[in-house]
Every structure is written in C-alpha cells, then in structure tokens.
Amino acid sequence: MLFNSIDFALFFPIVFVLYWLVARKLTLRNSLILVASYVFYGWWDWRFLILIIISSIVDFYVGWYLHKTEEKRKRKMLLFLSLLVNLGFLVYFKYANFFIESFVDSFRLFGAELESSTLNIILPVGISFYTFQTLSYTIDIYRKQIEPTNNMLAFFSFVAFFPQLVAGPIERASHLLPQFHKTYKFNYDLVKNGLLLMAFGLFKKMVIADRTAIYVNEVYNNVGDYDGVAYTYATILFAFQIYCDFSGYSDIAIGAARTMGFDLMKNFNSPYFATSLTNFWHRWHISLSTWFRDYVYIPLGGSRKGKIRTYTNLFIVFVVSGLWHGAAMTFVIWGAIHGLGLMIEKAFFKVKKPFYERLGLSNNKLSNDFFFGSITFLLVCLAWIFFRANSLADATSILAGIFTNFNTAEIFDKSTYLIGFESNEFKVVCISIGLLLIAEMVHAKKSLVKLINSQGIVLRWSAYLVIVFAIIVFGVYGEGVAQEFIYFQF
C-alpha cells in the first residue's frame, strides 16, 4: 500500500479513528496496530507476511534467551541464529541472483563461459529495513545495552509498525519499543503537526519527486540519445527526485506516527546544505548511517586502531552500504565513491592549519560554506550517476557525455531543458524546488511545522489550503510515472 494512493487515503483515516477509540486499552490498541500493519504490508503480497512473522518470532525468543543466559558460548550461538535467519532471508531474496551473475562474470574474465540461469525471486518490500531493525534489537541485548520485552504483542507491533515498516526510519528498540508499552491521550497539537508533516511529505513526493522523474527517466532510460547537458540536468534533477522521494516518505511516516502519539527519529536534515561528505552523511538517511556506525564501523575498530585501519573501515562500511542499497555493481561503486571521498576528507581536514587557509581562501563562513557546499553537492551528484544508472555501461556513457560532449550552447536551449516537459511543467519544477530550498533554510532556524501551526487561524489555514491545493493541482497522477517510492526496492 502506497502512501500516495487512494488505498492509503481510505486506510489511514479508518485506522486513525479506531486507534483513538481503543487508545487507552493497551492490548487492544497494540492488537489494532499489528493487524493494521499486516494489512498494510500484505497489500503488496500476503506471502511477504510469512518472512516478517518468522523474523519476529525468532528475534523475540532469541532476545529472551539471550537475557536469561550468561554463558558466552550459548549467547554467541543465539546471536548467530538471529543473524543467520535475518541475513539469510536478506541474502537469498535480495542477493542470490547478484552472486550467481557475479560468479559467472568472474569466469568470463578468464575466457570461460558458464551456462547459468537466475532464480525467479520476488524481492519482499522493505526487507532491508525491518531486517536491520530486528537485528539491532538482538545485538543490543547481546551487548547488554537493553533488556528484552516479555510482551510478544508489543514486540511484533514494534517490528511491523506500518508508518515506517517499508522504508524507515530504521528505529532502535531502545527508542521505539518502550512506546508500545504505554498508552497516550489524544493530543490535538500532535495530530495537527503530524498531518501537516504528512502534507509536506506528499508535496515533496507528488509535486517534486514524481515530476522531476519524468525528465530523469526519459534521459537515464535512453542513454545514447542525449548529450552532456541533458545528462547534467537529469543528474541534478535526480538529486532532488531521490531526496524529495525518500525524505517525503520519511515525513509521511513520522507524521502518521505522530498523529497516534508515537515519536520516530528524524531521518533527514537538509542534506544538500552540507559542506562536506562527512556532514552530508550526518544529514542524509540518518537512521541508516548511524546503524552502520554502531553495528559495522565501530565493531570493525572504528577510528581506534590508527589511520590506515580507520580509512579501511570507512571504505568497507560504505561499500557494504552501497550493496545494501542494491544488488548491482553500480551501487557498490556509488558506496565506494562516498567511502573514498570520506577517506580523503579525513586525511586533509584533520590538520592543524584550517583547510580553507591551505586553499588560500578567506576566513569568511558564508563564502566558505557556499564554496564547500557546492563542491559537496557536485560530488554527491557525481555518485548519484552510478546510483540511478540502469547499468555500469550506462553510467560510464553518462560520465563520458558530461565530460567530453558538453555543448554549452545547449544550456538554455528549450529542446534540452524541456525534455519530457511542457513549458508550464518546467516552471512548476523550478518553483517547487526553489520553495523547497527556502523552506529548508527557514527550517534550519525553526521547525517549519511549528512555525506554521503557531500562526493565527487565518494564516495557518491559508498555509494548509495552499499545500493541499498544490498537491491536488500540481501533483503527478496516472500510469507511467514514478508513483512508487524509490527506496521500496531496497
């Protein structure tokens, strides 16, 4: 079930009303959440429910037995069981064909041809997200950082909580699970804030992401038909497409949870205002980057074992992060670019003399932020080429086109910047992206949601109506557009 669908527009109000009718009765409330979450998830394919139920059962009992035993060998075996089940599902459904194809390709390098066929496997929606969420629960118990719950209903509801089940944020049990052990009173301000945040998310998704996708899909799906200027436009637009698509989903998820009294972690913080790749990853997909930090980077040794080991650990984490995003070499290279960039940053920025002085720049924060922010955005866009390209060959063709076939005369040529667009559609894209950037600058000073909701009734309702009007009038609808959220495939 998609957030931007008629199905969800009917589903959510029904769940919301029923939820607040039983909100003071904990067992009944969690039962409603669990049933609603399974309906929400099973809407794609009811067979997917089998996997999430198995993961929930295994991790509930693994957590319980981990807490009961102090014997190291048994504790390691229990943790291994959780890893085996969860990562086993993930590897099979997401990476089986990738490993088969990679194995065959490795022989092809030496002139040998192997006959093979890929498996007919359907990738369960959101498996990467709930797998990491349940794994963090058992790992934290193993580390004795949290205690397990003895309430199976609360735990199952935590794993399957429908607002963030399919594409995050990836919540930690220490933060979200206790919220299933207490009831909430109806809070008008929270509901109002949550609904406004959901509206912002729908605006990002339907007005910006799905409209920019028209241009991006046309260019990236027909590599060879265009030149460097079109590739550049498409790549920049993809940067905004994927940001508005994914942060839009997070906004809707956080907002929907908030209307029911639940607090989900912030997943994005104006990442395109970052002034370094390190800063970018403190702002982009925060729940995933902190997950990899706590469960991969630090266990590998983090920054505790010298520079070489630190750089190696960083590179490994980002290559694994790339593979997490997709079973293709394009994603691995995307992760490697970020890993390499972070290694270079650590090598050059951790010096006594400020980096801007070494480049001969003045000590002016505004100009330096603009300079480094621009460089960071360009590097991020360079990596996005591999993330979006349909194949490694397409990615290299796009790069070649940008650097060797860039005709500056076409920058202001309508036939280039209106690919797939009518003139008015292009204006909608430019204005909406401009409004997004202004909103994020305002949000950096004060929460935009709180700012709007603190206004008088006339201004407040005017803002509500403008947002709803923009979604209805300027949102993209119909077949052949990117209605499904990009991160569903991960």
Query: If we measure between CA atoms, which residue out of 37, 142, 125 comes closest to residue 82?
Result: 142
**Quick one: how far is CA 21 from the chain centroid?**
33
Cα 87 to Cα 82, 131, 162, distances in angstroms: 8, 7, 22
Q: How many CB atoms within 10 Å of residue 35?
A: 14
Q: Assess contact for 140 and 44: CB atoms under 8 A.
A: no
Q: What is the amino acid identity at position 422?
A: E
HSE-up of residue 279 (Cα within 13 Å, Cβ side) = 15
Cα 153 to Cα 42, 161, 284, 307, distances in angstroms: 18, 12, 32, 46
Distance CA 471, CA 464 (A): 11
Query: If we measure between CA atoms, which residue out of 340, 405, 385, 396 comes closest to residue 236?
Result: 385
- Residue 338 bears catalytic tag: no
Residue among 67, 181, 285, 325 flagged as catalytic: 325
Q: Assess contact for 116 and 100: CB atoms under 8 A.
A: yes
Q: Assess contact for 440 and 243: CB atoms under 8 A.
A: no
Residues belonging to the active site: 325
